[in-house]
Amino acid sequence: MEQLRRVLYVDDDPSVCELVEVALEATSDLELRTCLSGKEALDEIKTFDAQLLVIDVNMREMDGPETVSALKRAGVRIPIIFTTAETDPETHIQLRGLGSLDVLIKPFDPLTLQQRLHNLWDSVADA
């Protein structure tokens, strides 16, 4: 089973990206890249061999589901976790229907983020 090493995090809120960077750099050995837009993520995925994509649902210009669709059209197959402040269970079901491993509700605890990502990665690797 391959260990999780490289994560691409996408959120159009720079403060959230900074929080995630600080939390993961302090608590893990993950290599993290952050992007502030779906379009930036589409470019970054070409050069960064991410194993896992963590992406916000509601972003300006190109939202999370649109970005995921564009990645799939480009032939990129990568496990995805959506983040959102939306707590409606129906929305979460729809997001999982797009192929998401899980939906992290914002605000999430940055101190437990690394362990949550590893747990979700392990659940896919064991499947």
> Which residue is it, tokens 């999430």?
108
Q: What beta strand segments (E) does the chain contain?
A: 6-10, 31-35, 52-56, 80-84, 100-105
For the record, the structure tokens of 60 come out as 């300006």
For 57-116, the pLDDT digits (tens) are 999 989 999 999 999 999 999 999 999 999 999 999 999 999 999 999 999 888 899 999
> pTM for the complete prediction?
0.94
